[in-house]
Amino acid sequence: MQNILFRFAERNNLTVALPVQACGHQFCYPRSFSSHFVHLHTLRPNLITNHMRFNKTALQRIMPNDTIYITILREPASMFESLFTYYSRHCMSFRRVPNGSLEAFLAEPLRYYRPQEIESMYARNTLTFDLGGDKDNSIKDLAYAQNFVADVEKVFSLVMISEYFDESLILLRHLLSWDLEDILYVKLNMRTESSKKRLSPGLPEKIRAWNSIDAYLYDYFNTSFWDKLSDLGLDCVAKEVQLLRQAQERLMRSCFGGKMPLPRPAAEIKNKDLRPWQPSDKVDIVGYDLPVNISSEAQEHCLKYIMPEISYTRILLHSQSLQHRRSYQNRPVQKSHTLQQHIRTTLPRHSQVHRSQPGPSLGQSPGSGTESKSTPKQS
């Protein structure tokens, strides 16, 4: 989703709020989002999509009043297996488990889990945490889960479902009045099959019980997701998904010399900007390299489709910083105290954030996802 939104922003000359360098490529996650995490050269944004812990109040200080919020959820059992494998070397709750056994963790999760540790959000109710909720609320507190879901539903115009990503993109296209080309994508950040663990019988149920708020959240929005698809018309959605996949195949063939590409291990990718981050030597995240025999025009067009998030964030920040400096150099000379006053007042009050672009903005949250973006194209 982030790659789709980055490319849309670049094509339409929109400003993307990006993290200060001290935060890396995320908004100082797992800290709750703050406007102070946003790089000054990317203020007055139309869109925000890098990973964060959602904080609506803080986002409202920098985003326009008409911002549209979207997010994406993944089935909790599938996501927890991925988190356990991906962060096995980083999250202490997982590192304590003998032999890195998911079964052992789920047999006695409280033996290994420490809620106050800095990366404990990977080990319990990650979706809930990313959306600003309490990951450690009592499993038996159904009222909390119901109220949390109601709050999420009020804020987010669309909750996408990872397992039905193409159908989710069709809903997004209709919500924002986008064209088909705006939702084209290439699959990124994929693990090799050897890096995945098959869940034995009974484990999905244990995962959902341990991540009970996430399970409630996912089940609720999976149901509402299909209600939205039904409202649009399932036959209509199926036809649009088919058109999307046909367009994607044409894109892939044009970018990879008429062939469908095979994902490569990071070590085999020649272009360093296209190498995905590797969390540990036990997990292989694959990516792509463009063939040398395609035109320079195709190279330029296709490069961003396959660029991992860390590289893309760095390059986009560099580009927007250059634009910021040019626009500042072209301004009339002012007294120095005026600039200082501007820096102080762009963050604290939402009413002081102005936009030169018409139309709503879009806000995407965490890895569950929220995006804030503006000026949807009219079809």
Residue 47's SS3 state is: strand
Query: Quick check: 243 and 166 in contact, CB under 8 A?
Result: no
Q: How confident is the model at residue 119 (pLDDT cuts 50, 70, 90)?
A: very high
Alpha-carbon gap, residue 352 to 349, rounded angstroms: 6
Alpha-carbon gap, residue 43 to 320, rounded angstroms: 10
Tell me the pTM: 0.85
Query: For the chain, what is the mean pLDDT?
Result: 87
- Helix H or strand E encompassing 147: helix 142-155
pLDDT of the residue at 51: 97
Q: How confident is the model at residue 372 (pLDDT cuts 50, 70, 90)?
A: low
Tokens 């979706």 sit on residue: 127
| Phi, psi (degrees; rounded to nearest 5) at 165 | -65, -45
Q: Can the peptide bond before residue 30 be classed as cis, meaning omega within 30 degrees of 0?
A: yes
Return the structure tokens found at 143.
């009222």
State the pairing for strand pair 16-17/47-48: parallel
Q: Is pLDDT at 344 greater than 50 in this prediction? A: no
Asked which of 96-100, 249-253, 273-277, 322-326 is least confident by mean pLDDT, the reply is 273-277
Query: Quick check: 39 and 18 in contact, CB under 8 A?
Result: yes
Asked which of 225-239, 305-319, 350-364 is least confident by mean pLDDT, the reply is 350-364
Alpha-carbon gap, residue 207 to 125, rounded angstroms: 10
User: Residue 135: what residue type?
Assistant: K
Q: Is pLDDT at 345 greater than 60 in this prediction? A: no
Average of per-residue pLDDT across 317-340: 73
Q: Which segment, 56-65, 81-90, 250-259, 333-342, is predicted with the most confidence on average?
A: 56-65
Quick: pLDDT tens for 153-176: 999 999 999 999 999 999 999 999
Alpha-carbon gap, residue 231 to 244, rounded angstroms: 20
Angle 47-48-51 from CA coordinates, rounded to 5°: 160
